[in-house]
Amino acid sequence: MDAGIYREQIIDLYEHPLNYGQLEPADFSYEEDNPLCGDVIRIDVRLDAEQRVAEILWSGDGCAISQAAASLLTEEIKGQTLAELKAFPAERLLELVGVPLSMARVKCALLSLKVLKAGAYGIPDPDTMRGHE
């Protein structure tokens, strides 16, 4: 059988994530889920005096792709400035993940980046539960 997108590295990271955990306090924290698949990711960031990422941890629950991508992203982003982080290109993360993804799974791979940017921009949580009126 073709392992497809489930290369060793992805499974390794799924089993042994990098930078997993939570920071208290953090300079910014953000959590979001992909309600369509239930994947949820939280990212906590501490910046240094020069507005560079000093510490970054992620936590959450989801599929191997979203989880591996979160490890790869947090690893890559260390030491970058807030400005760099805000401009971090989606293509770069897909490159890091390094396996061909279908449309539906691209969303999984990019969830952590979406969370990171939303946190960096200080976007209010769009998903605060409210009834429809």
Partner 1 sequence: MYDIERVRADFPILATEVYPGVPLVYLDSAASSQKPAVVIEAMADYYRRYHANVHRGVHRLSEMATTAYEGARVRVAEFIHAAAPEEIIFVGNATEGFNLVAQSWGRANVGPGDEILLTEMEHHANLVPWQMLAAERGATLRYLPFNDDGTLALERLGDFLTERTKLFSFTAVSNVFGTINPVRELVDAAHAAGALAMVDAAQSVPHMPVDVRALDCDFLAFSSHKMCGPTGIGVLYGKRQLLEAMPPFLGGGDMIRRVTFDGFIPNELPWKFEAGTPRIAEAIGLGAAVAYLSALGMDAIHAHEQAITAYALESLSELPGLRLLGPPGTQHGGLAAFTLEGAHPHDIAEILDKDGIAIRAGHHCAMPLHHKLGVNASARASFYVHTTTDEIDKLVAGLHRVRELFRLERD
Rounded CA-CA distance 87/53 in Å is 14
53 three-state secondary structure: strand
Q: Is 132 in the site for partner 1 (CB under 8 A)?
A: yes
Find the shortest distance in angstroms from Cβ 110 to partner 1: 14
Window 6 to 35, contacts with partner 1 (CB under 8 A): 6, 11, 14-15, 33, 35
Omega of the bond leading into 124 within 30 degrees of 0 (cis) = no
Find the shortest distance in angstroms from Cβ 104 to partner 1: 6
Nearer Cβ to partner 1, position 38 or 98? 38
Rounded CA-CA distance 110/98 in Å is 13
Q: Is 1 in the site for partner 1 (CB under 8 A)?
A: yes
21 three-state secondary structure: coil
CA distances from 48 to 28, 58, 124 (A): 12, 18, 23
Window 74 to 103, contacts with partner 1 (CB under 8 A): 102-103
Rounded CA-CA distance 30/122 in Å is 8
Binding mask 34-73 for partner 1 (x = CB under 8 A): -xxxxxx--------------------xxxxx--------
Nearer Cβ to partner 1, position 25 or 131? 131
Backbone φ and ψ for 27, nearest 5 degrees, come out as -75, -40
Residues of this chain that interact with partner 1 (CB under 8 A) are 1-6, 11, 14-15, 33, 35-40, 61-65, 102-105, 108, 127, 129-133
